[in-house]
């Protein structure tokens, strides 16, 4: 079915390079007619993001540090000026200090905790606050974020990021309840381990990939394109009755008891 998002406008945060899950989402929704805006944090990432965005006609590239409310507000001001509204938002942003992804969670310091929770969880709430008025102009919208099983169960090395994902998943439910009357849906995709730049910062990630491949019912690792297509579904009218949910895209690994 072609053109599921024809004429729709979307914002995607979290593209770092062509292996980013956010970029797979961008390709899936663009192929179905969506026009996109991308954000980048810092000049170091600008070239990568712009090079990718330039391959999709009509794309915008805007600076945004999700820990700075003034920058977030400016992103939505520019989007509203250009498009007079917004239809969907992909929140693919997460960060924890490297030292907090090693050893035990017990040693986490307050600064590392605040950083991980602020970037990885609160940013969804802030972005939803700013996106909601633009989505109301379009009669509603869809917000999707990315999570991981480590937010529900202990995943070795995931540590404070697991706590952040737990907060993120709770935020999805509360935001879905708050924004439902405005016809704005909020959901999360819980993806299996994927070999991205961010994932490689997790200690023992190669072993995590191997375990997921060997134990999951489908006997293979999750592909970023599978997450992209699932996000497309959640942004499209096909999912119009779904909100506040965690959609697992992990080759079935989450159903296992061990």
Classify residue 59 by its DSSP letter.
Answer: -
Q: Which stretches within the chain are classed as H helix?
A: 21-30, 43-53, 69-83, 110-117, 123-137, 159-179, 205-215, 224-235
Q: Which residues pair with 9 in a beta bridge?
A: 35
CB count in 10 Å sphere of residue 187: 24
The CA distance from 208 to 202, in Å, is 9
Catalytic annotation, pick one of 40, 95, 122, 158: 158
Q: Look at residues 118, 125, 132 and name the one whose alpha carbon lies nearest to residue 79.
A: 132
Catalytic annotation, pick one of 122, 148, 174, 253: 148
| Residue 109 dihedral angles phi and psi, to the nearest 5° | -95, 160
Give Cα 18 distance to the centre of its chain. 15
Q: Look at residues 124, 239, 247, 232 and name the one whose alpha carbon lies nearest to residue 190.
A: 247
Known active-site residue 158 = yes
Known active-site residue 122 = no
Query: Is 90 in a helix, a strand, or coil?
Result: strand
Structure tokens that stand for 32 in this block: 């179905």
The CA distance from 85 to 11, in Å, is 11
Q: Which residues pair with 105 in a beta bridge?
A: none
Catalytic residues: 148, 158
């Amino acid at each position: 079915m072609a053109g599921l998002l024809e004429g729709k406008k979307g914002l995607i945060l979290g593209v770092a390079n062509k292996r980013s899950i956010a970029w797979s989402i961008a390709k899936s929704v663009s192929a179905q007619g969506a026009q996109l805006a991308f954000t980048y944090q810092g000049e170091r990432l600008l070239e990568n993001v712009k090079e990718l965005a330039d391959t999709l006609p009509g794309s915008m590239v805007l600076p945004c540090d999700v820990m700075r409310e003034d920058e977030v507000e400016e992103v939505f001001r520019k989007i509203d000026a250009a498009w007079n509204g917004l239809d969907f938002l992909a929140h693919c942003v997460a960060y924890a200090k490297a030292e907090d992804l090693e050893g035990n969670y017990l040693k986490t310091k307050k600064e590392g905790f605040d950083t991980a929770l602020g970037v990885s969880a609160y940013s969804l709430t802030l972005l939803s606050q700013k996106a909601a008025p633009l989505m109301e102009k379009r009669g509603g919208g869809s917000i999707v974020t990315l999570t991981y099983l480590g937010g529900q169960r202990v995943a070795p090395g995931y540590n404070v990021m697991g706590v952040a994902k737990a907060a993120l998943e709770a935020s999805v439910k509360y935001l879905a309840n708050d924004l439902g009357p405005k016809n704005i849906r909020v959901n999360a995709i819980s993806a299996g381990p994927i070999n991205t730049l961010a994932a490689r910062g997790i200690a023992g990630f190669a072993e995590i990939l191997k375990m997921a491949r060997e134990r999951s019912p489908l006997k293979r690792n999750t592909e970023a394109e599978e997450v992209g297509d699932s996000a497309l579904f959640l942004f499209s009218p096909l999912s119009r009755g779904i909100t506040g949910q965690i959609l697992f895209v992990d080759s079935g690994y989450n159903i296992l008891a061990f």
